[in-house]
A = this chain, B = another copy of it.
Amino acid sequence: MEQHRVVIIGGGFGGLAVAKGLRDPAIAGTLIDRRNFHLFQPLLYQVATGGLSPANISAPLRSVLRRQKNVQVLLAKVVGIDTAAGQVQLEQGVLPFDTLIVAAGMRHHYFGHDDWARLAPGLKTIEEATEIRRRVLSAFEQAERETDPAAVRRWLTFVVIGGGPTGVELSGAIAELSRHTLRGNFRSIDPASAHVVLIEGNDRVLPPFPPKLSQKAQQSLERLGVEVRCGVRVTSIEADRVHLSHNAGSDQIATPNVFWAAGVQASPLGAAVAAATGAKLDRSGRVQVQPDCSIAGHPHIFVIGDLAALNDEHGQPLPGLAPVATQQGQYLARLLQRRLHGKETPPFRYVDRGSMATIGRASAVAQTGKLHFSGFLAWLAWLFIHVYFLIDFQNRMLVLFQWGWNYFTRNRSARLITGVDGMPPLLPQPADVTACDFPIPTAEQTAGKASDK
């Protein structure tokens, strides 16, 4: 009997869940990704602040799927989809499919200001996380070597744009790093004098959470020394400052350290799917799918995860969260196997087990159903759920150990400035302060090819 060929694009939470669920030997699965590892993105901010190593939150895709002989992994870049021929077009060659699942996720969106990407890196890839780590740690080094107090203050100012979970967690971790981890490390500066600012355009941080938890989160951040500014929007970013606008007018913050946790938009593959199938895209480029995650008129083409636009049973759009992607992936694996036996499957239903965000050490906010909680208990819950959902058992142990260690010593041992053969430049003199930028190209520039972000 010929096998049913299932091609999955993307090894994130959604794509990996499908691949792991395809146990029927009548199916031949291919998981395509541009990277050789699954990345546990929710913990990327810990890599960016030296708490964990990149490998601790990654799992080689081949390793995860090595026992599943009916699934193969292909490192490749997808450039298009040919529905008529039933083929995925790769940068080199084509790959035929009977069923196609697109789970290519989202990327940063700088609201039309692509030049901001270089000035304010986001936090989606390992390379971006180590770049943020390099910038944060280098800023303290620069400050230590400065004599001009204004320059010291600039280097010790950190602005995080976007008050969603990533922005909250990143700003909290930078504050902790400066208040605790780096204590006693410097001789000229007091790292605890660092000024960490979190900018959110909405009227409160963590907008999807209940207002009370947003307030708790803000209080926890402020206790850590983060200045939380809500209702504030970024109007422009320069190499040495960020311009803001708000109800009371506009102002600016002088700093070269700006990090982006604000907008996301769909992978360009969303548009490729739309072009091939006639599917509609929403404002962020997400692909409108049917209740079973398939595309109208194309029952063998599915989109899941962040890239899919789908409403829940109350008509609310499903959020772009790991649990949604994972559940959709598991659902699809079940659906495909039932279909092989001629069985129907009821529409996808998201089971919301709650959401949470952590704020520094021993503090978090969480909601599950009607239950809202915060503080140490929420943090413990956050910790164990995140460890539990790490793919690799070894990584679970390594992360637990390092968190235990960090908890008691407040140390973060992965504080490496890497990616540079040498060291960062001194802050230029005030005269040419607009040139004050790190000389290191972004990962895209490094790769010597056009970015598709």
Q: Which residues of B contact A420 (CB under 8 A)?
A: 443, 446-447
Q: Is the CB of B398 within 8 A of A402?
A: yes
Distance between A94 CB and nearest chain B CB, rounded to angstroms: 13
A62 contacts partner chain B, Cβ-Cβ < 8 Å: yes
11 pairs from A and B in contact (CB 8 Å cutoff): A34-B422, A34-B423, A35-B417, A53-B414, A55-B415, A60-B413, A75-B141, A127-B421, A394-B411, A397-B405, A421-B446
- Of the candidates B60, B67, B76, B444, which one forms a contact with A421 in the assembled complex, judged by CB atoms under 8 Å apart? B444
Q: Which residues of A pack against B, CB within 8 Å?
A: 34-37, 50, 53-56, 58-60, 62-63, 66-67, 69, 72, 74-77, 92, 125-127, 137, 141, 144-145, 182-187, 392, 394-395, 397-398, 401-402, 405, 409, 411, 413-424, 426, 439-441, 443-444, 446-449, 451
In whole angstroms, how far apart are the Cα atoms of A91 and B37 in the complex? 40
Distance between A3 CB and nearest chain B CB, rounded to angstroms: 13
- Of the candidates B75, B145, B421, B446, which one forms a contact with A423 in the assembled complex, judged by CB atoms under 8 Å apart? B75
Q: Is the CB of B447 within 8 A of A411?
A: no
In whole angstroms, how far apart are the Cα atoms of A441 and B187 in the complex? 36
Q: Which residues of B contact A185 (CB under 8 A)?
A: 60, 62-63, 66
In whole angstroms, how far apart are the Cα atoms of A182 and B439 in the complex? 38
Q: Is the CB of A62 within 8 A of B448?
A: no
Q: Is the CB of B444 within 8 A of A187?
A: no
Q: Residue of B at shortest CB range from A60?
A: B415
Q: Is the CB of B53 within 8 A of A141?
A: no
Q: Which residues of B contact A392 (CB under 8 A)?
A: 413
